[in-house]
Structure 1
Amino acid sequence: MEHEIIHKLTPEQEELEKKKAELAVLETELAEKELNLVTFQAELSSFENEYMRVIGIRYTELDRIEAQIEEYIAFLESDRDFKPSLELKKLYREVAKKIHPDLATDDEERQRRQELMAEANIAYENGNLEKLKSILQDWENSPESIKGEGISFELIRIIRQIAQSRDRLKSIQLEITTLEQTELFQLKTKIIEAEKVGQDLLADMANELDKQINSAMKKLKELKTKFG
């Protein structure tokens, strides 16, 4: 009578299989949440475009603010004297040493490293020490930073992927909550509710702004006439 040989998994192998299953569930949930977020952002962006087409064009305040922003940026660029501290230089070297694209083992990893280096370069140019620290810490905690073969190394990478997925899920929820608290989303909600009772709130707002613009133009004309 033949006996089948049953290969029993080691504790590490069992744990790895559990973590793989856990990661698979998280990745499915994450894909759905990412879709929800992108859809939400697209719908809000579409509404914003319509709002700017109907209402935004009537506001001249934006031009004034943008002009001030341009002046401020021009002033900063002309007056800026870049003097990086020794700590900033040291930290940048450490970041470059660990995440430089030339250290990549495949195209996907190279792309990731290039993006991080671009962020690090901007942070360095802006003297942003905290951002550099954050980039370095995120890399050191990432699955990509774990090199090596075998169950132990794979298990560590899977655990870190799980942690990243959980963090991203929290981040997505925070992004959605933040968007829901914006004035733009609140206005969109009001307009949708108004449409249910046959009211075009956007058109009403445009008409009111037109009245204000006409009134202001009339006053300006009177002042021009008064002062010649």
Structure 2
Amino acid sequence: MTHEAAGVPTTRNDDDRQDHDRQHEQSGRPADARAEAAPTEAPATGAAADGAPADGAPAADAAEAGGAGGGNADGGGGGIAEQARPEARPEARPEARLAHAVRVAEQALIEFEIAVETFRVEVENFSRLHHQRLGPMYARLDELDAQIAEARAARTGDPEDLRKAQEARAIVMPMPGVDELFHDWMDSEGLSPEASAMLTEQPVRPPKRVRPTEEARKLYRELARKAHPDLAQDEKERARRDEFITRVNAAYGRGDEALLKELAQEWAAGPAAPEAELGEADELYARLNWLTQRKELLTVLAQELEQSAIGAMLRMAPDDPDHLLEEIADQLLGEVSQREAELAGLVQ
């Protein structure tokens, strides 16, 4: 039996039930389709980039580098653990998501280490080439300053001028330093590169350039990403990688493309890297904490390199540090000419 109201069409109870069922089916279909299309695997996050510091740009160009995954050698952009935090998905095991975060953090740290190491190489090479090429010019300027002071003191006889002349001559003839006492085996920073090469029976090959060539930088980055000790699964593998990456760093510091290519072939022919095992949650969390602490240490090192005298000079010419040496040499030649003219005027 049906009830009628004024202005409302008559409706049967069984029609209401059928309409309700059809609406329920239609509203449920899109939800089912969305559920079928949803991904079942969490997307990778925190991918590391080939930052400018990894190419040698100050801090670490670094810096070419440069923080991990960001191109800034001072490590800006958040902590390793924050960069590596995976998107939570109920379908994935917690250990699997955490292991993914560890892998991402490892790659980010490696990129940061590459950036810092490339900048460190530039700082060291610039320091050695600056001393090698420009050292004689600085010595000539010191000698001219001493001769000028002595000539002026001889003309005036003033006690103050005599004192200045003695001080200038003392700079030219200093007390024996560490390098003289150890016959160039040691300098202010410890064992010299030449002495180290001699002790390890390696040929002494000083760098030809401040910044290695683009091909050398490319080879170095590829080898560092593949053979980095932080990717080792056990102590034996870490020791093998440590020894290998030491040779890679030395070859890169000299800009030796041929040796870097040989090392790439050697690594490719070596044993394959074992598959990473899924550790316990406590081990994975400890690994993330270690990676974060390691990044903080590298950040301090990058800042020290940037704030050093050589690092400050490199920031003046981030695109071509080798040209900066030429500019300094030209400036020193001009100062030598001025000092020689001044001395000539005093002795006439």
Smaller-chain TM-score bracket: 0.3 to 0.5
TM-score relative to the length of structure 2 = 0.30
Q: Which has the larger radius of gyration?
A: 2
Query: Which structure exhibits the higher relative contact order, with contacts defined as CA atoms closer than 8 Å and separated by 6 or more residues?
Result: 1
